[in-house]
Amino acid sequence: MLRSNEGEKDRVRDIDTKKATSLRTFEGEHLVALDRTHLMDSKLTGRKALVTGASRGIGKAIAEKLAEEGADVAMNYRSSEDEADLVAIDAESVGANTWTYRADISHLNEVREMKAIVEKYFGKIDILVNNAGINIDMLFKRMDQESWNKVIQVNLNGAFNCTSTFLDHLLESKHGRIINITSIVGQMGNIGQVNYAASKAGLIGMTKSLARELASNNITVNAIAPGFIETDMVKLIPDKVKEKVLAQIPMRRFGLPEEIAEAVVYLASDDASYITGHILNINGGMYL
Ligand code: NAI
């Protein structure tokens, strides 16, 4: 695992300090291949993925599942360095090469710096998963411009920053994949989430338009629209509200991050090579 945050001052951390059984993936500065014979037949062997917001929740599950299917995974995080390292260690335990990098995706310059380091130490990516997202919920009559802008800046402009910055990698790949994590809220709206719904609906429009533009380059662009998934984002919802939400879900349960991750693996794989511009609902039947 390589962690790198400061350009030329990049450093390799010996992950053995965290887990005795972990694998060494780097020699000096450069990535070296692990023994991955057990992954030879996996769906994503030989692919390289970048997952934003990979230190916890859905992003963590996606990073781990991509690794399980043979991909090397670069994991972006905003602040939780130790959590990101633990995800990387998990991914390495199944044989993936991993790399973690702190960058706020809402700042284009930070994403560009991340790309320079990705290229140098990890290589060019084939799969981009725009997962990072935030919510700042309040009724619209109380919503200030800052709360509106912040959510749009991370959820929508962040996806623009990453997609535009890494587009040349995807154009060079024979299997380019862009997978945007939108939300059921972008499809049906939600009280108290006008800013969030607008950002996620924006991602849907972006997905469909980009799918049309990039189809001739053999890049597929799809989105996953999760319903309510058991992560920190949902844990913060008051119990009374949760009960009301559950009553609206025909399957009467919240989804699991792994259920989103499985769909990302599918869309990233050759099995989904003719699917583009699709919005895949994973919501227990809450929105049909
Ligand atoms: P979470 O809050 O547990 O994780 C979000 C991740 O994004 C965190 O690791 C956070 O550090 C990262 N992040 C936030 N702002 C960032 C920035 N500026 N730069 C880099 N990283 C940043 O949320 P969860 O539930 O895992 O959500 C993941 C995605 O799925 C989000 O886009 C969210 O909107 C979406 N989603 C989640 C649902 C749920 O029920 N949990 C439902 C529908 C969509």
Active site residue 101: no
Residue 9 lies in a domain: no
Residue 16 lies in a domain: no
* Structural domain range at position 151: 35-282
Do residues 45 and 39 touch, judged by C-beta distance below 8 A? Answer: yes
pLDDT at 274: 98
pLDDT at 18: 35
Residue 22 lies in a domain: no
pLDDT at 25: 42
In 3-state terms, what secondary structure has residue 61?
Answer: helix
pLDDT at 188: 97
**Which ranges of 36-156 would DSSP assign to H, the alpha helix?**
57-68, 81-93, 108-121, 145-155
Using the atom order of ligand 1, give the atom closest to the CA of residue 260.
30
d(CA 16, CA 95): 15
Residue 21 lies in a domain: no
pLDDT at 26: 42
Which residue is closest in CA terms to ligand 1's atom 41? 229
d(CA 165, CA 85): 24
Name the DSSP letter for residue 272: G
By the 10 Å C-beta count (0-12 exposed, 13-18 middle, 19+ buried), 189 is classed as middle
Could you say which of 77, 101, 121, 196 is catalytic? 196
pLDDT at 22: 32
Residue 113 lies in a domain: yes
Residue 277 lies in a domain: yes
Which residue is closest in CA terms to ligand 1's atom 8? 53
d(CA 32, CA 166): 23
The tally of domains found in the chain comes to 1
* pLDDT tens over the chain, length 288 residues: 666 654 433 434 443 333 322 333 444 444 545 556 666 779 999 999 999 999 999 999 999 999 999 999 999 999 999 999 999 999 999 989 999 999 999 999 999 999 999 999 999 999 999 999 999 999 999 999 999 999 999 999 999 999 999 999 999 998 999 999 999 999 999 999 999 999 999 999 999 999 999 999 999 999 999 999 999 878 888 899 899 999 999 999 999 999 999 999 999 999 999 999 999 999 999 999
Distance from residue 181's CA to the centre of ligand 1 (Å): 9
Residue 170 lies in a domain: yes
Whichever domain contains 165, its CATH number is: 3.40.50.720
Residue 10 lies in a domain: no
By the 10 Å C-beta count (0-12 exposed, 13-18 middle, 19+ buried), 150 is classed as middle
Protein residues whose CB sits closer than 6 Å to any atom of ligand 1: 52-53, 55-59, 76-78, 104-106, 131-134, 154, 158, 181, 183, 226, 228-229, 231-234
Best residue for ligand 1 mutational test, from 60, 64, 75, 78 (most atoms within 8 Å of Cβ)? 78
Distance from residue 276's CA to the centre of ligand 1 (Å): 23
